[in-house]
Structure 1
Amino acid sequence: MIHQKGTKKRRFLVIARVGDESLHRQWLYPNTFRNFDLYLSYYGSDSGRYKNDCEYYSETKGPRWPVYKEIVEQLGERLREYDAVWFPADDISTDAYNINLMFHIFDQLKLWLAQPALTKDSFKSWNITIQSLDHIVRYTHFVEIMAPLFSPAALQICCPSFDANYSGWGIDFVWPKLLNYPDNKIAMIDATPVRHTRPVGKGNLVQNQSAESADPSRKEQFKSVLEQHQISFQSQYPNGIKAISGIKFCLS
């Protein structure tokens, strides 16, 4: 069940699956100036733990991306009130100023799918996600499941893939294909880097998954999703994942 506090007042929405060590309270500071509402989906055992931290609140066990699909479906028409939706992992360190600017850049450039770049001291999977100090954004054909940001239209198209497997591995390669690999619509937002604070695959939600859910392995789930959607990693990204263009800062 979704518990909603008050009415929607802001243009953007952040939805996060959170555990007992969640960093989401950093995202709310300074609370006065944030341009986004917050939906917290708590997967821990301390009922009501974060109910007063957000505009929307629910509690449920289960994997991150299939639960996100359920949340999007439950919100239904309420999502149409927002101009963009961000899905950060709960081990992302940032603040309200940075999130505000991220949403502003996404909106001004009319992006469909994006993510904030990662600071150089972040735990990472892909080099492309590390911040480029020379750019505001870098246009790509890839964003990672760690902290993707969707336009309403892109979310509607991509949401059916959220439960393609238990781990979510590989669905981030599916999204650009579902959007027909548009140029200048998918991006790394370098101007608003965030820090990923835990080793990849070591987050609390991953650790809480049962042995049954971990079989097949995440690598096998990754391979299966790409095969299902007829995506060849080597042919699509023969030299690894890389940016195709970008908007640079004016350096004077």
Structure 2
Amino acid sequence: MVTSRDFAGTTWRLVRENGAVVAPVVMLRPDGGIGGVEEAIARGWRVRDDRLAILDGDGVASLTFALPRNGDARRLAGCVAGAETTVVGLERIALPSALAAPQPPAPAPVFRDRVGRRRDDLVILRAGTGSLHPTWTDDLDDADRDWDLCISWYDAAEPDPEMPCEYLTVQREVRKLAAVRDIFAHRPDFADYRRIWLPDDDLAVSRRAINRLFAICRRNHLDLAQPALDEASHVSHAVTRRDPRFALRFTNFVEVMCPVFSAEALTACLDTFPTTLTSWGLDVVWPSLVGAGGTRIAIVDAVTVTHTRPVGGGYDMSSAFGEMNALLAAWGKKLAPVVYGGISAGAPV
């Protein structure tokens, strides 16, 4: 018998009876939400009475699909609710990737833990010898710090074993986001942190600002966010530059340079991390998995960082654009940042 457990975390393509693609990617999230589709007719899903139902924003079935009795659920036939003659289909697909082939598995990360009281939030920093984290402004008493620090070291030189952090691991064979996915694969206890920040190591920031970033995300129930870039920063996307009119802006775009995830949002997005080497394009995909268009995704103008290095210094730009275009085509997305509104500067956040 097919149950909801068989569908949780699976990825599909929605097509018409003639094979025309309606939605290239429909992810059935384990929490009952829908990822990859931003239309109001697809906000959730459930399995009931031998049918898979796609639910609208009111929790009402908008599409229904009959479940096969033999357990082969690779292709489902269904119809639009209220218009049973309008036939649609769901086809099971692999998670879209910009890579021609999966990257070979890296060695399992080995951790040096130095944790006393575990704090609420976690910063995972991919760092090398040029990392700016030793220069983060020390304007916060350690007793007030609400976040632990995990250093994922990528340089050929050995890291200082006494480097001040709660966790230290060496991951030289993989890029930033693939390394983060490997970390969570081998440290499931990290999922107990409430929120996780993934900054690049060329960002200048203060420790107190990191505290403030996590606090604003928590108070405003943000699932996906980032600090704004200040006036001294190298900027790729104008929407990420600080807007002095706002304390935060609700948007459909958070840059891969420094995203903050809630634990639930990270679970929804984690499998996309190794689908590209450069990570370009994922900043468009993630909001569609978390729920773009509402008030759970934001750029936080009340907290700024400085991006100190020119964009694209660590990889070939033509390859990065190629990966981004391939990834967005596979997901049916476009790079089109939108600001839906926000909270005005000076208002409490």
**Is TM more than 0.5 here?**
yes
Does the CA contact (< 8 Å) of 2:204 and 2:307 recur in 1?
yes
Does the CA contact (< 8 Å) of 2:256 and 2:282 recur in 1?
yes
For residues 1-252 of structure 1, what are the structure 2 equivalents within 5 Å?
1-27=110-136, 29=138, 30-32=140-142, 33-49=144-160, 51-61=162-172, 62-80=174-192, 82-202=193-313, 206=314, 217-233=319-335, 237=336, 241-250=337-346
Q: Structure 1 residues 6, 140: CA separation in 2 closer, same or farther (over 3 Å shift)?
A: same
For residue 276 of structure 2, what is the amino acid of its counterpart? N
Tell me, in whole angstroms, the C-alpha distance in 2 between the residues paired with 1:58 and 1:249.
39
Q: How big is each residue's C-alpha offset from its partner over 1:46-67, in whole Å with a ceiling of 9 and x where there is no partner? A: 2232643210100111211111
Q: How big is each residue's C-alpha offset from its partner over 1:79-116, in whole Å with a ceiling of 9 and x where there is no partner? A: 21x11100000000001111111110000000000000
Shift of 1:129: 0.4
Shift of 1:8: 4.5
Shift of 1:156: 0.2
Q: How big is each residue's C-alpha offset from its partner over 1:137-179, in whole Å with a ceiling of 9 and x where there is no partner? A: 0000110000000000000001110011111111111101112
Structure number with larger C-alpha Rg:
2
Q: Tell me whether 38-47 or 242-251 shows the greater mean CA deviation.
A: 242-251
Q: What secondary structure sits across from 2:280 in the alignment?
A: coil
Number of matched residues?
235
Tell me, in whole angstroms, the C-alpha distance in 1 between the residues paired with 2:154 and 2:162.
13
Q: What secondary structure sits across from 1:40 in the alignment?
A: strand
Give structure 1 regions of 4+ aligned residues with deviation exceeding 4 angstroms: none
Shift of 1:19: 0.8
TM norm structure 2:
0.64
Q: Structure 1 residues 74, 118: CA separation in 2 closer, same or farther (over 3 Å shift)?
A: same
Structure with a larger share of its residues in strand: 2
Tell me, in whole angstroms, the C-alpha distance in 2 between the residues paired with 1:197 and 1:31.
26
Q: What secondary structure sits across from 2:225 in the alignment?
A: strand
Tell me, in whole angstroms, the C-alpha distance in 2 between the residues paired with 1:176 and 1:17.
23
For residue 146 of structure 2, what is the amino acid of its counterpart? N
Structure with a larger share of its residues in helix: 1
Higher relative contact order (CA 8 A, sep 6+): 1
Residue segments in structure 2 that go unaligned for 5+ positions in a row: 1-109
Q: What secondary structure sits across from 1:97 in the alignment?
A: helix
Q: What secondary structure sits across from 1:245 in the alignment?
A: strand
TM norm structure 1:
0.88
Shift of 1:77: 2.6
Residue segments in structure 1 that go unaligned for 5+ positions in a row: 208-213
For residue 230 of structure 1, what is the amino acid of its counterpart? G
Identity of aligned residues (%): 31
Does the CA contact (< 8 Å) of 1:42 and 1:50 recur in 2?
no
